[in-house]
Structure 1
Amino acid sequence: MDDTLLLRYSRQIMLPAFGIEGQERLRLARVLVVGLGGLGSPVAMYLAAAGVGRLVLADHDAVDLSNLQRQIIHTTDRIGTPKAESARTTLAALNPEVELVLVRERLTAETLPELLRDLDLVVDCCDNFDTRFVVNAACVGARKPLVSGAAIRLEGQVTTFSGQPGGPCYQCLYPRNGGIDETCTANSVLAPVLGIIGSIQATEAIKVLSGLGEPLFGRLLVLDAGRMEWRQVRLVADPGCPVCGAASPQP
């Protein structure tokens, strides 16, 4: 690592439990960010700034005026631009050392396994449950860690799934037939709540990739921003889960 990179990342390299070794792990890491909206904006920006070597940016949508209240990776002059391209412009200016790969198509159960083959971790920042379930199943099948976050109104939640046998998965938390709303796009949200949850998602990703601290495996953090209170919920694997349970198909 040359002097320029040492200076760029010096504040996190100085962390006693991180050091140059942690920075090198980030440099070699390959991460998929699913969705470049209110959550994906801070996630992608913090991961790029921290020096993650390759970011795969997946979003099939285009920038809209209504996005700009919360999707801080985009700008007014990019309205109509594909979000993946808009994000690339911001991230390349933030840290030109990071390799940026764009996926402009909707992620599906058919395309995800090949995409995950060369990746180390997935951060789910999308705004609909159909995609969340597909991403979760692919991560379980590929045994890749998944950092999941969500926010609506003044509430948010975040957790990390290890992707390893015996641990819970997203469908253990939200059974697919559980009667949940199938879209988040029509609901209100306070922009900074997305920033809080997205920042924690980025922190979790860096922890898993670098070996820093203790990830949120088996724990769900829930935020009530109206009262600015956090609570923690213990997550356990559902033996009957059709994705990760004992009777589920094995990779």
Structure 2
Amino acid sequence: MNDAQLLRYSRHILLDELGVEGQQRLLASHALLIGAGGLGSPVALYLGSAGVGRLTVIDDDTVDETNLQRQIAHNLARVGRPKAESVREAIAALNPDVQVTALNQRADDALLDAWVPTADVVIDGCDNFATRQLVNRACVRHGKPLVSGAAIRFDGQLGVFDPRVADAPCYACVFPPDADVEEVRCATMGVFAPLVGIVGSMQAAEALKLLAGLGSRRTSHLLMLDGRELAFHDIALKRDPHCPVCGSAHGGASALG
């Protein structure tokens, strides 16, 4: 770490839990972010400002004026531009030392299999159930921790799914892939602007703790947020031995060691 970095990250370095060693870990780490919208915006900005060395952002959407109510990484000047590139510019304005790779593509199995193995943590800020399942399967397949978030209307949730932790559930243990899920989108249901900031900031916090070597106490727990009451509800989770993704009948147990 050079003198400029020691100054920039001095408030992290002052933390006993982080210190120089933890900050060095962040500088040497690679985070993969799926989605550059309401959740992805605060995740990207906090990871970038905190000094995560490499950040890869995957999103195939473009910035629209309706996004600006809550997607704080974007601005009017970048309306019509790819969101991944907009996020890259926003991070560069905060911390030009961060190496940001912007992929203006939809996350599919091939793309995830190319990038998930290279990451130290994966953060899912996408807006649809099918992509969440793809991301989870890739994380289980490659043994990478997943920080998952969701927000709609006034309701949010946060989960950390880490296949490196014995008996920890994966996302599919909690939300089975074959479940009859009714997709709800911001465009039709609305979303309270600060809600995505709250959930995205918590995702960033969990990702940074994992990258810095502090671990996460959210593994095997699902945190539910009621934005109307600003009330949190913690739900303990268990691994499903019959899970189609990480269950032993589907090769999950052997894949996880």
CA separation of 1:33 and 1:95: change in aligned 2, threshold 3 A: same
Q: What TM-score do the two structures reach when normalised by structure 2? A: 0.95
Q: Secondary structure at the match of 2:189?
A: coil
1:191 counterpart residue number: 193
Instruction: Indicate the residue corresponding to 1:136 in structure 2.
Output: 136
Aligned to 1:201: 203
Matches within 5 A, 1:76-115: 76-115=76-115
Deviations 1:155-212 (A, max 9, x none): 1110111122521011111112221123534321101010000000000001111122
The unaligned stretches of length 5 or more in structure 2 are: none
Matched, 1:215 2:220: no
Residue 161 and residue 82 in structure 1: after superposition, are their counterparts in 2 closer, same or farther (change >3 A)?
same
* Cα pair 2:117 2:144 within 8 Å, conserved: no
Rounded Cα–Cα distance in structure 1 between residues aligned with 2:110 and 2:147: 21
Higher helix content, 1 or 2: 2
User: How far off is 1:214 after superposition?
Assistant: 3.7
**Partner Cα distance (1:214, 1:63) in 2:** 32
CA distance in 2, matches of 1:135, 1:184: 19
Shift of 1:6: 0.6
**Whole-angstrom CA distance in 2 between matches of 1:171 and 1:214:** 19
Q: Does 1:167 align with 2:171?
A: no
Partner residue of 1:3? 3
Query: Match of 1:177?
Result: 178
1:170 partner amino acid: Y
Give the secondary-structure state (helix, strand or coil) at the position aligned to 2:234.
strand
Residue number in structure 1 paired with 2:54: 54
Unaligned runs of 5+ in 1: none
Q: CA RMSD in A?
A: 1.2
Aligned residues: 251
Aligned partners of 1:57 and 1:213: how far apart in 2?
23
Aligned to 1:156: 156
TM-score (normalised: structure 1): 0.97
What is the aligned-residue identity percentage? 49
Q: In structure 1, what residue type is equivalent to 2:220? A: G
- On the 8 A contact 1:32/1:119 being kept in 2, the answer is yes
Corresponding residue number in structure 2 for 1:237: 239
